[in-house]
Amino acid sequence: MTTAPEGSGRTVLVTGGSGSSGIAVARALLATGARVVLVGSDPGRIATAAAEAGVGATHLVCDLADAADVQRLHKEVAATAGPVDGVIHLVGGWRGATGIADQTDADWDFLSTAAITTLRNVSREFYAELETAPAGRFAMVSSTAVQAPAAAMANYVAAKAAAEAWTVAMAEGFTRSGSPAAAVVLVVKSLVDSEMRARQPERRFPGATDVDDLGAAVAGLFSTPAAEINGHRLKV
């Protein structure tokens, strides 16, 4: 763990932040003057991600599927960075099959834990801070497949749909309390980064969203009025 730097600006928690999307989101937020806390379950990977993101990014380790560990995370964030102004939830995963009959319980357990359990734990723990922040923002990343479910992806889209529903319920809570906060679903077909392009130079990745564009979209949430985005599904 590193210590958050001194300075003004909002504090944003990026959960599931050890991959290229977490690094890109962190860089975009840092460019706006925010302090970023990247959270992951693997100590080595999350430390590397924070170092790659740049000055102003710190890191903490947490099992987001464990509610007690998320409570511990909250205390550690409060001690090192203060109240959070945003939570960007990037935890995900993928499991597929050939149809409905072979959608396994093991795959459902994996996907629902990644998509739903982690999001519920994090949002419940940080909801009150987001609700009272001057421009509190919560965002999750979902898939275009939720609107056009295929049999081979039933477990995956069902888990994502549940996570979307929870996020929209958060949005209603913000509206009902008169909060200036917003909860948003960012929708992509897939994500691509420079390393993926370099490994497969012949591939065009049709419809994919570059992680840098995801980062820009996340950063823009904080300067967009809550009424324009709260509860919305925003295609990136």
Helix (H) or strand (E) holding 177: helix 154-177
Provide the pLDDT confidence category of residue 9 given band limits of 50, 70 and 90.
Answer: confident
Q: Compute the average pLDDT of residues 23-42.
A: 97
Give 97-102 contacts, CB < 8 A, sequence gap 24+.
Answer: 97/152, 97/154, 97/155, 98/152, 99/151, 99/152, 100/151, 100/154
Our CA dihedral for 195, 108, 167, 85, rounded to 10 degrees, sits at -50
What pLDDT is recorded for position 4? 38
Do residues 136 and 180 lie in contact, with contact meaning Cβ atoms separated by under 8 Å? Answer: yes
Residues 219-230 pLDDT 10s: 999 999 999 999
CATH topology of domain 11-235: Rossmann fold (3.40.50)
pTM: 0.94
What pLDDT is recorded for position 210? 96
Count of beta carbons in the 10 Å neighbourhood of residue 98:
9
